[in-house]
């Protein structure tokens, strides 16, 4: 399995370390050609405006939705959630528009307002998951096809819609690797269904 990490800006190294530890063969994705080599893609946290502009520059604003609609799993963390959202409030307009969610940029506060919290994630089992929120977006609304996997104070913070996954928090910054394991299982399930573009690399 080859898992791409969008490597334009943000927590690239941190996601690569988790994937390496899980034996998932991470590859850095910077161009549409790089994207053709992977079975799934993580869009990391960082500056969503910067990442979005670079995605446009390198044609990934078109290539990622094309692969996703063909069945490639995509996971967006923090800024990645913003880029996946169909509707975004505050700042730049939505880019990829893949998930039926509405998010508000930086709604949990500025950098100095960053915090950690324990989340119950029934789909992943006990114990609670430690989650790190850094200038995190708030998920304001979700469509009927969106499954809420975890919430904080009544607000969804981890959601799944088919082969798409998004979180307001940064799972790559804690020792708990269960969210990444979930995403890898989503990639395996997609491969078993034969989804994605022909010629993509499999286990």
pLDDT tens digits, one per residue of 85-139 = 999 998 788 999 999 999 998 777 666 568 999 999 999 999 999 999 998 999 9
d(C-alpha 67, C-alpha 64), whole Å:
5
Give the model's pLDDT for residue 110.
Answer: 64
| Residues belonging to the active site | 78, 170, 172
Query: What phi and psi, each to the nearest 5 degrees, are found at residue 176?
Result: -70, 120
Across 7-19, average pLDDT: 96
Kindly state the helix (H) or strand (E) to which residue 27 belongs, with its residue range: strand 26-29
pTM of this structure: 0.92
Give the pair of three-digit tokens for residue 5: 């990490």
Q: What is the mean pLDDT of residues 31-54?
A: 95
Note the pLDDT of residue 203. Answer: 41
d(CA 20, CA 29): 15
- Would you state the pLDDT for residue 200? 43
Cα dihedral 21, 13, 106, 89 sign: negative
Domains in the chain (CATH in brackets) are: 3-192 (3.40.50.880)
CB neighbour class for 41 (10 Å; exposed up to 12, middle 13-18, buried from 19):
buried
Weakest mean pLDDT among 48-62, 101-115, 178-192: 101-115
What is the share, in percent, of the chain residues with pLDDT greater than 70?
93
**Mean pLDDT across 71-89:** 96
Is the pLDDT assigned to residue 197 strictly greater than 60? Answer: no
Q: Running DSSP on this structure, what letter comes out for residue 181?
A: H
Which residue bears the tokens 């286990």? 203
**Stretch 168-192: mean pLDDT:** 95
């Amino acid at each position: 399995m080859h898992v791409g990490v969008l490597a334009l800006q943000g927590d690239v190294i941190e996601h690569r370390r988790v994937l390496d530890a899980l034996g998932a063969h991470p590859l850095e994705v910077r161009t549409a050609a790089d994207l053709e080599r992977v079975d799934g893609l993580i869009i990391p946290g960082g500056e969503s405006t910067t990442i979005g502009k670079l995605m446009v520059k390198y044609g990934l604003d078109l290539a990622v939705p094309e692969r996703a609609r063909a069945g490639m799993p995509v996971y967006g963390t923090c800024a990645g959630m913003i880029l996946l959202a169909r509707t975004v409030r505050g700042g730049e307009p939505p880019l990829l528009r893949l998930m039926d969610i509405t998010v508000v940029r930086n709604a949990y506060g500025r950098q100095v307002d960053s915090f950690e919290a324990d989340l119950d994630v029934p789909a992943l089992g006990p114990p609670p998951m430690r989650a790190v929120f850094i200038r995190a977006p708030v998920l304001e609304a979700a469509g009927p096809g969106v499954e809420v996997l975890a919430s904080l104070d009544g607000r969804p913070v981890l959601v799944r819609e088919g082969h798409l996954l998004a979180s307001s928090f940064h799972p790559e910054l804690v020792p708990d690797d269960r969210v990444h394991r979930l995403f890898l299982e989503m990639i395996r399930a997609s491969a078993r269904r034969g989804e994605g573009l022909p010629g993509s690399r499999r286990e």
